Structure 1
C-alpha cells in the first residue's frame, strides 16, 4: 500500500508535499505533482539531512547566522562575537543578499552587495567588516558541500579615495609619545586623580582592559612585580544590552612583569589614598579590591577616563584639537614599547612583556621604531672603529690589511 501524503491544489493540479525541519529548526517542504516524484525527493533529502548538509532553500542570512553561532564563535572572545553579530544584524540581515537562497548565491550577487554598501558608506572598512564574516562562511559552505564552488577569493574590496586612506592610516597608526613628550606627560600628571593609572599604563605597557581588571593581589610589592592575567570589558549580548565582563587577556597570556621602583612607590601611595577614600563610603579595601576603581570600588568607565586623558594631552600641548594624529590611551602602551626598543631591549623580550601571542605582531606594530634604529647602526659602527687602533695593520695608502691573509 502506497504511503499517503497531503496535497494542495494549484491551478487545478494536485501537488503532494512532505514537511521536515532543517538544521535551523525551520519548517521546510518538498513537493511534486506525483507521489513517486515526491518519494524520490524525500529519499534525497533524507540522505542530505543524514550527512548534515543544509537545505539549498535556506536563506543566506540563516546559513550565515548558524555558521557564526555554532562554528565560528567557538574560537572568538565575547567582544569579537559582539562585533560580528552587530555587523551581521546591521549590514546583512534583512537585505536582498541576506534573503537570497543558498542555491542562488553567486559571486556577482555578493560583489554587487559590496559595491552598493561602499557607495552608501564611502568606506572600505565597512565592506571589510562584513567580508570578515562572509568569507569564512563561504569557505565553510564549500567544504561542507552546501556550495558547489568556493568563490570567496574572487571577491574584491573597493578602494577608498587617497584622502580617505590617508586619514585611516593616521587614525590607525602607532603614535607613541616622544622622549620629550614622555617627560612632559609624567611631570604634568603629578597629583592627577588618574596619575597611578596613567603611570602604570606607560610604565608597564598593559592594555586598558587589563588595567581596569587589576586587583591588589596582582601586585606584589615585595618582589616588585605585576601579574596581568585578566581583562575587563563591556559586551553586548543577544538582548542588545551591555554587560560588564572580566575574562582572559586578549591573547590568553598570563604575564608577570617587573615593576620599576618609581612606579612601586606611586602605587603604594595610591593604595593608601584609595583605602582612605573607600572608607569614607563604607567600603573595605582587600586584596580583591580593584587597583583602579571609582570612589566606591567599582570599575572605571573607559569613556570618562579617556576624556580626562584627552584633556591632559591638550593641556600639555601633546595633542591638537581636531588633529587626525592625536594620541589616545593605547598610545601609552606604544610609548612603553618604543622606549624599550630605543634602550636596546630585544624585540622578543618586548613581545613577551606586551603579551603578544605572535612575535610577528610586535615586529609589524613597531616597524617604524625598528627602521629608525636601523638608521642609527651606521653611527654605532663608526664609534666601534673609532675605538680601534689600525696603525700597525694599514698600508701607506690607509687601506686596512686583512689580518687573515687567506681571506680577501
Structure 2
C-alpha cells in the first residue's frame, strides 16, 4: 500500500508519496509535488496518485518539458481542428511556452499556473502590455485541453489546469447603435460599393465571415431568405473558406423586403462591373460581395473600411461586430421572441442569447408585466375607479 503525506512548503502545499522499491535496483522511490494553493488541493492530488497506483496506472518518470509536449500536441491537433481554431491554439501555445515552456510537464502545479495567469494579466502582451481576462481565459482553456490529453495518455497523473482558477470572466457592456443611429450610418454609406453588406449586417445580425462568405446560390429571392452555409475568415494573412463552425450556425434567415431590394440593386451593379472588366473578372466563386475584379473581400479590409466610414459621420464609435449586437438589442427591445433572435444569430442555445443581452431583459420583463396586467386588470383608470373590482 502506497504511503504519502501532505505538508506546507514555501507558502503553498505539496505532497510526497512512497512509490515502493525500484524493480530493477531495489532502491526506494519517492515522488513529490509542490505548488498547491490549499491543503485540500494537495490532499486531492495525493488521493488521485494513490488511486492510480492501486490501479497500476503510474506515469513513467520523465524530464519532458511542457514546451516539448505542447509542440507535439499542437501538431496532432492540426487535422482535428478547423484552420482558424488551430491558428488561435497556436497563439495560446506560444504564450504558454514563453512563460512555462521550460517547466517539467510532470512538475506543474495549479498554484504555478495561477501565478502564470496573473503575469499574463499584468504584462503578457507582445509589447509587454496587459492581456484581457478573456484572452487569458482562452489561454487557460487551451492549456487545460492539452493537459487533459496528457493525463489521458498517462504522461501526468493529474491535470493541474483542472484545479487552477483562471481570471474571472469580466463582462464588458456591448456598444450598440440605436435604430436612428443605424439609419444615419446606412444613409451615409449609400454610395459605397459594399453598402449592401452593411445593410445585411444591420438587418440580420450575421457575422462578418458569414456575410463575406455568402454566395449568390445561397440567396433565394423568391422565398425571401438566405442560407448561411459558407464563411470567409482569415488565418494569418491568408483567406480560408468553409462551412460554419457549428450546426446551429448553419441556418436559414428570412429577409425583409427592404434588404432584398438592396441586394437586388447590388447584384445589378455587380453585373455591370463584371461586364466592364470582361475576362479580368474572377468568376471561380460566385461571391455576393467582391472587389472590382470579382475577388473576395478580405475581412480585415472590410473592418478597416467600416472604421473609416464611422469616422466620417457624427456617431458613437463602435466595431463592425457591434452591428450584430445592435441588431440583437433592437430585436429584443422590439419584442421579438428571444428564441427567434437566438436562431437568427446562430447561437448554440437561447441561454447564450439571454446571457449576452442580459441588459435588455429587464425592459422585456417590464413590458411583459404591463401587457399581462392590462389583460387581467383592464385599463388602469378603470381599476382605480373601482370598475375592475
- Which residue of 102, 108, 120 corresponds with 1:105? 108
Check 1:303–1:189 CA distance in 2 against 1; reply closer, same or farther (3 A cut).
same
Q: Report the CA distance between 1:213 and its aligned residue.
A: 0.9
- Please give the residue correspondences for 1:8-407 in structure 2 after superposition, counting only pairs within 5 Å: 37=25, 56-70=62-76, 76-89=81-94, 91-93=95-97, 95=99, 97-121=100-124, 122-123=130-131, 125=133, 127-157=136-166, 172-236=172-236, 242-252=237-247, 253-283=249-279, 288-319=285-316, 326-381=317-372, 383-384=374-375, 387=378, 398=386, 401=389
Q: Determine the C-alpha separation between the residues in 1 that align with 2:284 and 2:344.
A: 24
Q: Determine the C-alpha separation between the residues in 2 that align with 1:112 and 1:343.
A: 46
Q: Report the CA distance between 1:55 and its aligned residue.
A: 6.2
Tell me the equivalent position of 1:45: none
Is the CA contact (8 Å cut-off) linking 2:206 and 2:324 kept in structure 1? yes
Is the CA contact (8 Å cut-off) linking 1:61 and 1:93 kept in structure 2? yes
Check 1:187–1:152 CA distance in 2 against 1; reply closer, same or farther (3 A cut).
same
Is the CA contact (8 Å cut-off) linking 2:66 and 2:97 kept in structure 1? no
Is the CA contact (8 Å cut-off) linking 1:216 and 1:286 kept in structure 2? no
Is the CA contact (8 Å cut-off) linking 1:390 and 1:400 kept in structure 2? no
Is the CA contact (8 Å cut-off) linking 1:251 and 1:356 kept in structure 2? no
Q: Report the CA distance between 1:174 and its aligned residue.
A: 2.2
Tell me the equivalent position of 1:44: none
Is the CA contact (8 Å cut-off) linking 1:215 and 1:290 kept in structure 2? yes
Could you list the runs of 5+ residues in structure 1 that have no partner in the other structure? Answer: 1-35, 39-50, 237-241, 320-325, 402-408
- Please, what TM-score do these two structures have when normalized by structure 1? 0.70
Q: Determine the C-alpha separation between the residues in 1 that align with 2:112 and 2:287.
A: 51
Check 1:103–1:263 CA distance in 2 against 1; reply closer, same or farther (3 A cut).
closer
| Higher-Rg member (1/2) | 1
Q: Report the CA distance between 1:388 and its aligned residue.
A: 5.7
Q: Determine the C-alpha separation between the residues in 2 that align with 1:389 and 1:177.
A: 34
Check 1:303–1:373 CA distance in 2 against 1; reply closer, same or farther (3 A cut).
same
Could you say what the CA RMSD is over the residues aligned between the two structures, in angstroms?
Answer: 3.4
- Please, what TM-score do these two structures have when normalized by structure 2? 0.73
Q: Determine the C-alpha separation between the residues in 1 that align with 2:252 and 2:119.
A: 49
SS of 1:227's equivalent in the other structure is strand
Tell me the equivalent position of 2:127: none
Q: Determine the C-alpha separation between the residues in 2 that align with 1:303 and 1:267.
A: 22
Check 1:387–1:117 CA distance in 2 against 1; reply closer, same or farther (3 A cut).
closer
Q: Determine the C-alpha separation between the residues in 2 that align with 1:380 and 1:397.
A: 20
Is the CA contact (8 Å cut-off) linking 1:215 and 1:287 kept in structure 2? no
Residues 119-170 of structure 1 show CA distances to partners (whole Å, capped at 9, x for unaligned) of 433345353343222223333333443223343244244679xxxx7xxx5x
Q: Report the CA distance between 1:371 and its aligned residue.
A: 1.9
Could you list the runs of 5+ residues in structure 2 that have no partner in the other structure? Answer: 1-23, 27-56, 125-129
